Each structure stands twice: as structure tokens, then as C-alpha cells.
Structure 1
């Protein structure tokens, strides 16, 4: 498989980093702002010494302030070093709002599917139906988290599945690009003593998102999907999202883990469940098969 411009044929008029350097740059784009702001965040009581958010104020600070410098750094790199257009990193398409909203709906549906599968397998017990609807302050906080998660998720999709994926594909090929993006994504979501199944889930999460952007030809849908997945998981069931608990009343059903961590996901939440990994594997396989069939059909039409 040869080098390819994934989202746009717009040329890079500047310098594209080497394959081995691109993931390192992304790690630095993420790590430098975190290290620089760590003391400041702790001084305001927004994060622990380990970097975990404290309360809703800390979560908002993480989602808004924590991700903004990384986005600005990547966009500045694209503009001034690679000298590429935004279209070339996946911000392309005639109806971005529609594609984002469609992805948002898919995100809602897919995380509900995963949570319901764990529930049906005996990994969850319901303790209440929609307690958030009896808490106006809870509903307000849940609503405020939607744009926050949308921003955080969009930044991750732009930098991982937009910039890094397109840069690596131009320097190597799509397969190498997808694998390196997914490994880098898992590395930046890794924490000490994290079980192997959680690491595998992070890799599969990224593989699914890569498959989604390759299917749609842009990052808008993946941005919406990631936002819908994170927000509903964080607010819909009183369950952790990527190990973070919002401590808000459930928007849909209050659930409590029941059983082993392999099924429930443990402290990681449903994303750490083996059933979540099964979902990603099946979804990736379906998109890959559909992509091959579409390519075969297009080949016959041009024959």
C-alpha cells in the first residue's frame, strides 16, 4: 500500500515530519502543556498530584483548559511548519454540522449498546430510573458537560485521526498510519498498573475511530461520535468514563457494577469491559468488509 493523501489532495508546502518523529511530536504537544499547567491546576484545587480532576470544576478545567493548548500547538504546526490546509487534516466537507450531529447520534447509540450488553450479561444492576430529572442542578451540570466533552473529543479527533493519521499516511501508508496512531493514542491514555484489557480497549477505540474517518473521508463524524460516547457514558448511567466519575445523577438509568472487572470494566468503567472490546472488533470488521465491497463495486464500474 503506497503513500496517500487521505482527506484532501492539497499539498504540504512545508516540511512533513518523518514517520518515527510524528508520534513523538504528538506526545510532546500533549505533555508539555500538561506539565506546564500542572502546578497551576493543583494550586486552584482542580487536579490531584496525579493529574486527576477534582470535582466538576476540575473536570471542566481538564476538558477546556487542558486540551486547548494542544489544539493550538497542532494547528500552528500545520499552518507554519507543514504549511497544509485544514482540509488536509480532515476538516473537510460541505455539511460539517450535519456530519457532526450524525456522529453524535451514533455515539449515543453505540455506548448505549455496550452498556446494555454488559447489563444483559449480568454485569450491571439498576438502582434508579433517570434520577437527574428530579435534580434541576444536576440537569444543568449535565447540559454544561455536553459542549465540554464535545470540545475535548473534537480536539482528540483532530490531532490523532486528523493531523497524525494524515501525516503518517503521506509519509508511509494507511496501514502503518492507523497502527501508529492507535498505539500513540493508547500510550497517552495509559496509566501505571493499567490492566492489559484496558490498554487493548484503548487501541481498539482508536482503530474504530480510524476506520470511521476512513469511511467518511473527514473527522467531523468521528468528532461527533467521540463526543456522544464520552458524554452519555459520563452522564447517563452514573458510571466512569475512562476512569473519571462525574458523581452526577444518571440521566437515563443509575447502574452499579455487579461481577468481575473483566465484565464490568472495573474502575475504568464500561470501556474496560471485554464486551466493549468485542463491540469494537465487530464494528471494525463490519466497516472493513463494507469498505472492501465498496472498492470492489467501484472497480467493476470503472472496468
Structure 2
């Protein structure tokens, strides 16, 4: 996947022309160019992996086989953005990814906020009798103690760099902040349909709201992505751990629209309340213009 910077070097004679075009192009052209380049670079790798997995179009893949397809897709995104920055268009710091220690303190703060907000919502559900804890599965957490946090941090970092970094920043060049936030969050939600449609459709409102709150997290962190990265990773880690170890069961006392349709928190009132709780806390941060 390191052919991206090599390709850019090979095309260096035409870099000035490309830079001039991108600087003057409408923002939608720049956004489309990024996503097209991202997909085109990933497709050859995806084809090789799909052949190795003996996957055929129309055949669903189990979660453990989706991971080999997702990892190269995610790792390619920062390389594409590095290519854009190497042209002199914009830098990673313009997208909120700063190279100083403060990003790690924001990351930890956001991670804690994500876990605590989810814990509060689940605690309320336990108290109401909407769900139960499976103590017999506690031992399964240990086997996933390392891989799930690493995946959560990777997913959080790449998705924040793309959607709250690149996409929001570029849209904000031509559109007001609120509209850039709405559009970038909508694209963030809709792109989740690529991997799973049936389970994702009920989550779309929750995913859109999650995107809006993560934009708020960037403002709370003075334009940096550390807080949003941590918040995103905290939610991914907590939910993935609960799902993988099957720590939660639902006795069916209330409708799935309260607890989350298909056992997905963002597809129910509980997940929406979790995101709103985090958003309310972020709103209290002094950096956000009131």
C-alpha cells in the first residue's frame, strides 16, 4: 500500500498543475477526488484479499473476514491525505491532527468520556430491568483485552481524520459551520451502509447525531482531533467488547426501539441518549463558542 507516495513522486512534474486545479476547484470536486482515489487504490488490494478468502460477490462475509478487507482500506486513507498535503494544498494540522503531546491528553479525556457516557446509559437500563449482565462471560473479556482497544484506536483515528478532519474542513471552506457539520455527518452515516445494510439502516439517525457530536468535540479541543478521536474510540471499544464477549442480554421487557434494534445501541433511544449526554458535557467545555 506504500505505492501511493511512490505514485505521487512519479507524477511530480504535473504536481503544480494538479495543485492549481485543486486550489481553485469547488470543494465537492476535491472531496470526490479524495474518495475516488481512496477506493481506486484499495480495490486491487481488496481483490487479492477477496480471492484469498474465497469470497464471491453477493455472499456475506462474517465479521472476522471483513477485518482483512477493512484494515488496508483504513491504512490507505492517511496515505492519500499525505499525498494531498505533499502537493502543498493543506497539512495534517489543518485537518486537526497535531504533532504534540496535548493530543494524547485529549485522547485519554475523550476515551474516558465515551466509556463513562455509555456506562451511565447501560447502568440506567440495568436499573430499569431492560438488560442483564452475563457474568459467566466475563472471562471472554481477557482474550480480547489487546486487539479490541487497538482496533478501536485505529478506527477512531482514521474516521476522525477523514470525516471531522478532511471532510469537515474542506466543506467549511465554502459552507457555514453548521451546514459543513450536517453534510459531513450525513456522509459519515451513509457510508456505514457499505458493509451492512439491514443492521445499519435503523442506526442512521444515531450515526448522524454521533457525527454531529464528534464535530462538537473538535471545537471543544480548539480545532484538534484528539478529543473526538478518544470519544469515538471509547464508544467503539466499549460496544465491541460488550458484543464480542456477549456480556449483555435483553429480556424483552421493552421494545427494541428503546434498547437498540438488532442489539445495536445507536438504533435505539438508549444509544441516542448516550450520544446526547456526551454532547451536553462537551457543550460545557470553555473552548466552544456559545
- TM-score, normalised via structure 1 length: 0.74
Distance in 2 of aligned mates of 1:261 and 1:48:
33
In structure 2, relative to structure 1, the CA distance for the partners of 1:255 and 1:113 (3 Å cut) is: same
1:124 counterpart residue number: 131
Distance in 1 of aligned mates of 2:143 and 2:200:
35
* Among 215, 218, 229, the residue aligned to 2:220: 215
How far is the alpha carbon of 1:225 from its aligned partner?
1.5
1:279 and 2:279 aligned: no
Q: What pairs with 1:72-91 in structure 2 (closer than 5 Å)?
A: 72-80=79-87, 83-91=89-97
* Among 247, 252, 261, the residue aligned to 2:256: 261
Distance in 2 of aligned mates of 1:107 and 1:282:
10
Distance in 2 of aligned mates of 1:118 and 1:209:
24
Report if the CA contact (8 A) 2:219-2:288 is conserved: no
Report if the CA contact (8 A) 1:46-1:53 is conserved: no
How far is the alpha carbon of 1:153 from its aligned partner?
1.4
How far is the alpha carbon of 1:70 from its aligned partner?
2.1
Q: What pairs with 1:137-286 in structure 2 (closer than 5 Å)?
A: 139-190=142-193, 191-193=196-198, 197-217=202-222, 218-235=224-241, 237=242, 239=243, 246=244, 249=245, 254-259=247-252, 260-267=255-262, 269-285=264-280
Q: Secondary structure at the match of 1:185?
A: helix
In structure 2, relative to structure 1, the CA distance for the partners of 1:55 and 1:163 (3 Å cut) is: closer
Report if the CA contact (8 A) 1:257-1:266 is conserved: no
How far is the alpha carbon of 1:160 from its aligned partner?
0.7
**Greater fraction helix:** 2
In structure 2, relative to structure 1, the CA distance for the partners of 1:225 and 1:17 (3 Å cut) is: farther
In structure 2, relative to structure 1, the CA distance for the partners of 1:50 and 1:177 (3 Å cut) is: farther
Report if the CA contact (8 A) 1:90-1:219 is conserved: yes
Count of aligned residue pairs for this structure pair: 265
Specify every segment of 5 or more residues in structure 1 that has no aligned partner in the other structure, as ranges: 1-11, 240-245, 297-303
How far is the alpha carbon of 1:30 from its aligned partner?
5.2
- TM-score, normalised via structure 2 length: 0.77
How far is the alpha carbon of 1:128 from its aligned partner?
1.6
**Greater shift in the superposed pair: 215-224 or 107-116:** 107-116
